[in-house]
Amino acid sequence: MSGLLLIADHASNHVPGDIDLDIDPALLNQHMAVDIGVGPLGQLLCDRLGMAGIFGEVSRLVIDLNREEDAPGLIPLESDGFSIAGNKLLDAEGKRARLERFWRPYHDGIAARIAADRPRLIVSLHSFTPRLATRAEEARPWQIGVLYNQDDRAAQPGIAALRAAGIVTGDNEPYSGKVLNATMNLHAEGNAIPYLGIEVRQDLIGDDAGVALWADKLAPVIEAVASEF
């Protein structure tokens, strides 16, 4: 389908060789560093639906591309109870350099694509952990969450379509788009473009079979929502 743009802020766990986060390397394969499954799922959806795609190319532990440039959590000092010791050593100049190196080119690229193509629908793709380490007693039962802030033109039909397909769907769960929605606030709501903010529970897309299954489930929902715009 033409006129669609998929954005996946946290698709990569890449840490450039000249950046030392001073963490256990095993953390780079966990939800603190990357939205597990989103890279392959996003690519499969783009291929299947003919969508353009923009994928973040650096770990959220280096810089969180889905935060405002002045947000306290832009360069995280901790994540889900784990200290990101290397980030605590950054001075103001180091933070500014990281912003200029990663955040600005990423968002400038999104802005340029939107200005050139003016998509009729933006799909924002993320994944979430079934349980946070710091809140292990709180299960997250949703298979999919749909996030939105002020503009729910695509979110509401998306929620309805997902639930009609028998998918356990959270309405602004497990996070609220009224709190965490930086990329969509800037590029979708800021341009009055409808968007479908999709969060997939990461244990469902942790392998190739799961990715294929959820591409099959999500593609028709995206098509149905896009047909309204």
For residue 133, pLDDT over 60 is answered with no
For residue 134, pLDDT over 60 is answered with no
Residue 145: give its domain's CATH number: 3.40.630.40
CA distance 91 to 74: 14
CA distance 114 to 8: 15
For residue 192, pLDDT over 80 is answered with yes
CA distance 61 to 64: 7
Domain that holds residue 44: 4-226
CA distance 92 to 87: 11
Q: What is the pTM of this model?
A: 0.95
190: its two tokens: 């800021």
Query: How many Å from the N-terminal Cα to the C-terminal Cα in the chain?
Result: 12
For residue 175, pLDDT over 90 is answered with no
**Number of residues written out for the chain:** 229
| Residue 59: strand, helix, or coil | coil
CA distance 65 to 84: 17
The reply to whether omega before 72 is within 30° of 0 (cis) is no
Residue with tokens 């500014």: 96
pLDDT at residue 69, rounded to an integer: 95
pLDDT tens-place string over residues 48-106: 999 999 999 999 999 999 999 999 899 999 887 788 999 999 999 999 999 999 999 99
The strand pairing partners of 146, in sequence order, are 171, 198
Number of domains in the chain: 1
- Residue 81 zone, left/alpha/beta (φ > 0; ψ -120 to 50; rest): left
